[in-house]
Each structure stands twice: as C-alpha cells, then as structure tokens.
Copies of this chain bind each other. A is one copy, B any other.
Amino acid sequence: MQTKLDARSATPLYLQLEALLREALAAQTWKAGEALPPERALAEQFGVSRLTLRKALERLEAQGLVRRRQGSGTYVAPRLEQPLSLLTGFSEDMRARGLEPGTRWLKRGLFTATPEEVLALSLSPGEKVARLERVRSAQGEPVAVERAALPAHRLPQPEQVQDSLYAYLEARGLRPARALQRLRAVAASRQEAELLGLRSGEPLLYIERLSYLADGSVLEFTRSHYRGDRYDFVAELLGKQ
C-alpha cells in the first residue's frame, strides 16, 4: 500500500497518483455514481498541479473506473452495466458484431393502418402509419426481412429514413425507453424465402418488437424474420434477488 507521493521516485508522479486514486476508489471512498471532489481541490489535496492530476484521471477514465463530464464533475463509474439486453436496432447490432449492415428497401411511406397495427400501436381505425419494409443484410448477405410500423405523427416523412431507423428517431428526440420482444421459430413463406435466398420451409427466427417511449406510449411495432443459420439472439437473464 502506497500512502503518499514521492517526487524523487523514478516512477512519474501521475502514475503514483493513479495508483493512489485507484486504491481510494477500490476502498469505496466515494460511492458509485457519486462525484469525486473537483480537480482543483484534488490537486491541492495531493500537492500536485492540476494537469498532473488530470493525467492520472485520464488513465482511470480510460480504464473505465471514473466518468468525467465537462461542466459537471468526475463520477465513480457505475457498476458494470449489462452490455447485453440493451435496446439496439439492426444496424447498431450488426456493427457491434463487426459486420457491415446493408438495406434494400421494399416499402417506405405512409399507409392506412392494418387492424393488427391499430391494435399494437393503440391507434384509431383508419389512422395512418409510417411503414418501413426492407431486407437487411450483413456483409452483403441478406439476413432478415424487417417490417416496421410507427404512428404517422411520429414519423411524418418516412422516406427520409436512410439506414438506421433508430439513429433517425434519436436525432428527432424519439428514444425508446424499453421494448418487449416475442421470439418464435417459424417456417419461411415463399415470399420470405425468395427475399432471403432460401427455400421455403426453412427455419426463420421471428421477432416481434414493441418499443415504448418514456411516457408509456408505443413508438414502434416491428416484425422481423431472421435467417436461422445466420443470426443468434442473445439475452441476459437475472436471477431472483
């Protein structure tokens, strides 16, 4: 255990400081999510310049131990959050797997809602929905057929969506807070088989997703058919207390 800094030591000050701070963090000196003292105070407390302290903090930030927000403060990083079971769209999902996503549009516009869409999106009969239908691919290979429907007032100009629907929505302040997904195995219909380059009857992973905004309203109703041989869905479950 290192208790203080030694300016004459061969190891640079900022490395000694980094070790000191790491110990303090491990010792729960500050609770998770709580802010550390400001840089200027910490620097004075340890008797070093602010830039030296910042060098140590930068290394701790790179290691994921603290988070810094300009204008706000430096915070103890929250406990390891679930990298899985986070809500992502296809494009993001594929990039996370190191694959390049692609899109071939089948339909993109405003249509009258089907009874199923009326039910899922809590609309009034006859209301319009923005419908986005496309074949999604990874590394040029078709992977899934995706049919998304949103209330028309959420997406008045669906033809503006380019690649990632979620990125487009995010840019307009529409960020889903949670989603419910139902997964089932189904046999490929003739149409789906053709779009995905399979024979009909081959197994597909059918995923039905309802995304909700923070206020509880439904943002998106999406039905996707993924090739069984090209796609894994990963879920993390938590035990009961």
A residues adjacent to B (C-beta < 8 A): 9-12, 15, 19, 33-38, 61-64, 67-68, 72-73, 75, 77, 81, 84-87, 175-187, 201-206, 214-216, 226, 228, 231-240
- By CB atoms of chain B within 10 A, which of A77, A176, A182, A235 has the most? A235
> Would B182 and A234 count as touching, CB distance under 8 A?
yes
27 residue pairs from A and B, CB less than 8 Å apart = A10-B36, A61-B215, A64-B178, A77-B216, A81-B178, A85-B236, A175-B239, A178-B236, A178-B237, A178-B239, A179-B236, A179-B237, A180-B235, A180-B236, A182-B234, A183-B205, A183-B232, A183-B234, A183-B235, A184-B232, A185-B185, A185-B186, A186-B228, A187-B202, A187-B228, A205-B205, A235-B235
Residues of B within 8 A of A231 (CB): 184
Looking across the interface, which residue of chain B has its beta carbon closest to that of A238? B178
Alpha-carbon separation in the docked complex, A19 to B32 (Å): 12
> Would B240 and A86 count as touching, CB distance under 8 A?
yes
> How many copies of this chain does one complex carry?
2
Question: Can you add 16 more A-B contacts, CB < 8 Å, to A64-B178, A84-B180, A176-B239?
Answer: A10-B37, A11-B34, A64-B177, A64-B214, A85-B237, A86-B238, A177-B238, A177-B239, A180-B237, A185-B203, A185-B205, A185-B206, A186-B228, A187-B203, A187-B228, A233-B235
Query: If the complex has contacts A61-B214, A87-B239, are A234 and B15 also in contact, measured as CB distance less than 8 A?
Result: no
Residues of B within 8 A of A10 (CB): 34-38, 73
5 shortest A-B CB distances, which residue pairs? Answer: A185-B228, A203-B203, A10-B35, A185-B205, A185-B203
Residues of B within 8 A of A11 (CB): 33-35, 73, 75
Residues of B within 8 A of A34 (CB): 9-11
Looking across the interface, which residue of chain B has its beta carbon closest to that of A16? B34
Residues of B within 8 A of A235 (CB): 85, 180-181, 183, 233, 235
